[in-house]
Amino acid sequence: MAIYRQLSSMHYTGRIHEPLRTLSSMNRTREDRACLWIPIERLWRAKSISYRQVATRDFAAQLFHVFFVVPVVLYMYDRLFAYSGFSKEIAKFPMLARIAVYFLISDFGYYWAHRLMHTRPFWRTHQWHHSPTYMYWLAGCRATVPHQFLVMGSYVLAAPILNPSGWWVYTMLVIFSYLDVDWMHLNVPWGGRVLEWFFVTPRFHHIHHSSDPKHYNANMGNVFTFWDRLFGTFIDPATINEKEMAFGINESVSPVRLIAGL
């Protein structure tokens, strides 16, 4: 499979653009991800969806993300940040502890960047992501340059926590980041109150994409749900009937403006 050939060439040199560049490599493995998610969605689908009607458009959106959005954001961050990493004292902590801290810091930053994009001044940067009127594994691939720049900030700033580390650490994080986006948009009704005390599930995130104005600023978390509980943006998925829920932005917006995020 393509993913294994690509992962074998990944490495981390300590500069900010190297771990981020692996994102575009993972993006190119969409065929492998399709083989994973499509059978699951066919077996446990939450809503009927015709892949033939939406796949071409969504694959085009992902190609745009791979070959334009990610390279532009990499270039911007590579010019904005130049640092040697955190104190060498951090390297003395076990790798698993550093990975846990990295997840907490980066996800906390993501939560607030996400909330920022849902404010009036920044909403246009995020509209394209919310424009699909359906949910399935590839529905989360839309991201404008301003959107990607904002959400990537905390991950870039937290990255030195992991330095030094073996190649497998960034490989694992890249794989996780893409599967996580696929997972939360998956067209399945999966969830559970115990699991959702800590982690984002498809039914949890689907509420965030609801076209109901009451849900516009709800369930903002990326990996963890406790940020939503702590800061008052949590809606319990068990109280929502997803079969009656619609998705989209309820606005007529120029495609050029949507993709530009301006």
In a domain, residue 174? The reply is: yes
pLDDT value, residue 81: 64
Q: Is residue 54 part of a domain?
A: yes
Question: Angle formed by the axes of helices 145-158 and 95-117, to 10°?
Answer: 150
Partners of 199 in the beta sheet? 224
Q: The domain containing residue 63 runs over which residues?
A: 2-81+95-260
Distance CA 52, CA 75 (A): 35
pLDDT at 135 over 90: yes
Nearest CA-CA partner of 55 in 32, 38, 40: 38
Assess if residue 90 is contained within a domain. no
Task: Give the residue, 92 or 189, on which the prediction is more confident.
Answer: 189
What pLDDT is recorded for position 12? 37
Q: How confident is the model at residue 23 (pLDDT cuts 50, 70, 90)?
A: low
**Overall size of the chain counted in residues:** 262
Q: How far is CA 205 from CA 15, 87, 92, 127, in A?
A: 33, 36, 37, 16
Residue 87 lies in a domain: no
pLDDT tens for each residue of 102-112: 999 999 999 99
Structure confidence at residue 2 (pLDDT): 37
Please tell me the distance from the alpha carbon of residue 29 to that of residue 207, in angstroms, as a whole number.
28
- The pLDDT-based confidence of 16 (bands split at 50, 70, 90) is very low
Give the pLDDT band (50/70/90) at residue 82.
low
The tokens for 245 are 């829920």
Confidence check: pLDDT of 18 > 80: no
Task: Look at residue 11 and tell me whether its pLDDT is greater than 80.
Answer: no
Percent of the chain with pLDDT over 90: 53
Cis peptide before 237 (omega within 30 of 0): no
Give the residue-averaged pLDDT of 40-57.
90
pLDDT-based confidence at 4, cuts 50/70/90? very low
pLDDT digits (tens, 9 = 90+) for 214-259: 999 999 999 999 999 999 999 999 999 888 899 999 888 888 999 9
**Cα–Cα dist 166/99, whole Å:** 12
149 vs 33: which has the higher pLDDT: 149
CA distance 117 to 112: 9
Is 194 among the domain residues?
yes
Total tally of structural domains belonging to the chain: 1
Which residue did the predictor score with more confidence, 178 or 135? 135
Query: Measured at the alpha carbon of residue 18, what is the angle toward residues 174 and 62, in degrees to the nearest 5?
Result: 50
- Mean pLDDT, the chain, rounded, equals 84
Cα-to-chain-centroid distance, residue 131? 16
Residue 86 covered by a domain: no
Partnered with residue 247 across adjacent β-strands are 210
In a domain, 225, yes or no: yes
Residue percentage of the chain with pLDDT more than 70: 85
CB 177 within 8 A of CB 106: no
193 domain-assigned: yes
Residue given tokens 């939360």 in the structure block: 184
